[in-house]
Structure 1
Amino acid sequence: MKFAVIGGTGLIGSQVVKNLNAAGHEAVPHSQASGSDVISGRGLDQAAAGADVIINLTNSPTFDEASLAFFQTSMDNLLAAGRKAGVGHFVILSIVGVDQVPELDYYRAKKLQEDVLAAGPIPYSIVRATQFMEFIDAVLSWTADGDTVRLPATPIQPIAAKDVADAVAEVAAGAPLGGIHNIAGPEIFPLDELGRVTLAHKSDGRTVVTDPTAGMFAAVQGDVLTDKDAHLAPTRYADWLS
């Protein structure tokens, strides 16, 4: 099978391309650098030509309200290119609980992306993942102030990017789901505890202060970013840190 991997040079995309090619498929990475622009539409017809499957792993450059326009425009352009090329399967990567946090602009934008795909002309699959382990350092930096890091106790179920890429490649190589496949890490942590574990491993002397108002995840109510019934990936956080 031939796969057009849009955003195929990023953290997840590069690993998806590697996995699919190793399995004997032809996976071609596309990005702005290679001439594929999901906003202007430039190069998308060429990227989709001859592909059996489009995997869209592009992401908005911002997490604010502008992300809504990014996902609407990029999906419209990619679906048009895919339909023109006769693509039979369209896959996107989304977020577990994305429909449960309307207070966050970015989550509303990702839910919009899902809705545009589901209403579109191409059979589809949506892979929803929990928070990436690779992003935990960035989360800590958002609310760091001197010797303290403020974090809410929001339940998080971190997953390794490698495990996400494995799941995306597996779903993309299969029949369209016409729905959602949830994947998650094997452990659930309160975010503040995860921060303490991370800093201790790095011998970072900063103190984590539990603050229910701190950072983006303060808007999350309950355990909606976790899913005990999801397909559980194998990598544990301590092993990933090591």
Structure 2
Amino acid sequence: MKFAVIGGTGLIGSQVVKNLNSAGHEAVPHALTTGVDVITGQGVDEAVAGADVVVNLTNSPTFDEASPAFFRTSMENLLAASAKGGVGHFVILSIVGVDQVPELDYYKAKALQEELLAAGPVPYSIVRATQFMEFIDAVMSWTADGDTVRLPATPVQPIAAKDVAAAVAEVAAGTPINGIHPIGGPEIFNLDEVGRFTLSRKGDNRTVVTDPTAGMFAVVKGDVLTDKDAHLAPTRYADWLAS
């Protein structure tokens, strides 16, 4: 099968392309650097032409109130081009619990992306993943001040990017599910515990202070984790850190 991977040069996209090509498919990466602009529409028709499957892994450049406009415009352009090009399957990567945190602009934007896809003209699949292990350092940097990192005790279920990419590639190569495929890491931690463990393993002497008001995850109320029907990835956080 032929795949057009939009956002195919990023953290997840590059691995999805590699996985699909290794499985004998033809996966072509597309991004701004290859002349495809999902906002202006430049190069979009050409990128999806002849593709059996479109995998959209583009992301908003911001996490604020501007993010919904990015996902609306990009999805409208990609879906229109996919319908015109006869694409039979459209896949996106979203977030577990994205519809449970309306306080976050970015989560609202990703929920909008899901809604646009579900209402669109192309059979689809949505892969929802928990928080990437690769983003833990960034999460800590948002609330770091000198020798202190402030983090809430929000439960998280970190998953390795390589496991996310494997799941996206597998779903993309399959039949459209016209629904959601949830995936998560094999372990659940409190975010402040993840912070302490990470700093300890890296020999970082900063102190993690539990602060229920700190950072983006402070607004997450309760558990935004996978349910019993989700697929659990194999990579454990300690093993990922060690590698």
Report the TM-score when normalising by structure 2.
0.99
SS in 1 for 2:125: strand
Stretches of structure 2 lacking an aligned partner (at least 5 in a row):
none
Aligned to 2:96: 96
Give the whole-Å Cα distance in 2 for the aligned partners of 1:225 and 1:56.
23
2:198 counterpart letter in structure 1:
T
CA shift, 1:228, in A, is 4.7
Aligned to 2:127: 127
Give the whole-Å Cα distance in 2 for the aligned partners of 1:229 and 1:150.
33
Mapped contact 1:156–1:226 kept (Cα < 8 A): no
1:222 counterpart letter in structure 2:
G
Give the whole-Å Cα distance in 1 for the aligned partners of 2:131 and 2:224.
12
2:7 counterpart letter in structure 1:
G
Aligned to 1:182: 182
SS in 1 for 2:55: strand
1:92 counterpart letter in structure 2:
I
Does 2:19 align with 1:24? no
Mapped contact 1:188–1:226 kept (Cα < 8 A): no
Matched positions, count = 242
Give the whole-Å Cα distance in 2 for the aligned partners of 1:130 and 1:235.
13
Aligned to 1:82: 82
Does 2:51 align with 1:38? no
Q: What RMSD over aligned residues (CA atoms) do the two structures have, in Å? A: 0.6
Give the whole-Å Cα distance in 1 for the aligned partners of 2:34 and 2:168.
22
SS in 2 for 1:209: strand
1:20-50: CA deviation from partner (whole Å, max 9, x where unpaired): 0000000000000101000000000000110
Does 2:109 align with 1:114? no
1:188 counterpart letter in structure 2:
I
Structure 2 vs 1, CA of residues 55 and 102 (structure 1 numbering), >3 Å: closer, same or farther?
Answer: same
CA shift, 1:230, in A, is 1.4
Give the whole-Å Cα distance in 2 for the aligned partners of 1:57 and 1:215.
25
Give the whole-Å Cα distance in 2 for the aligned partners of 1:154 and 1:34.
39
CA shift, 1:224, in A, is 1.6
Mapped contact 2:183–2:226 kept (Cα < 8 A): no
1:135 counterpart letter in structure 2:
F
1:34-75: CA deviation from partner (whole Å, max 9, x where unpaired): 010000000000001100000000000000010000000000
Mapped contact 1:155–1:226 kept (Cα < 8 A): no
1:58-93: CA deviation from partner (whole Å, max 9, x where unpaired): 000000010000000000000011011000000000
Once the two structures are superposed, the pairs formed by residues 42-81 of structure 1 within 5 Å of their partners are 42-81=42-81
SS in 1 for 2:94: strand
CA shift, 1:226, in A, is 4.2
1:87-119: CA deviation from partner (whole Å, max 9, x where unpaired): 000000000000000000000000000000000
Give the whole-Å Cα distance in 1 for the aligned partners of 2:126 and 2:208.
35
Mapped contact 1:89–1:124 kept (Cα < 8 A): yes
CA shift, 1:227, in A, is 3.6
Mapped contact 1:152–1:214 kept (Cα < 8 A): yes
Mapped contact 2:44–2:78 kept (Cα < 8 A): yes
Give the whole-Å Cα distance in 2 for the aligned partners of 1:48 and 1:229.
32
Aligned to 2:221: 221
Aligned to 2:137: 137
Equivalent pairs: percent with the same residue?
83
SS in 2 for 1:181: strand
Aligned to 2:161: 161
Stretches of structure 1 lacking an aligned partner (at least 5 in a row):
none
Give the whole-Å Cα distance in 2 for the aligned partners of 1:149 and 1:195.
8
Mapped contact 1:71–1:110 kept (Cα < 8 A): yes
Structure 1 window deviating more from structure 2 (227-236 vs 76-85): it is 227-236
Report the TM-score when normalising by structure 1.
0.99
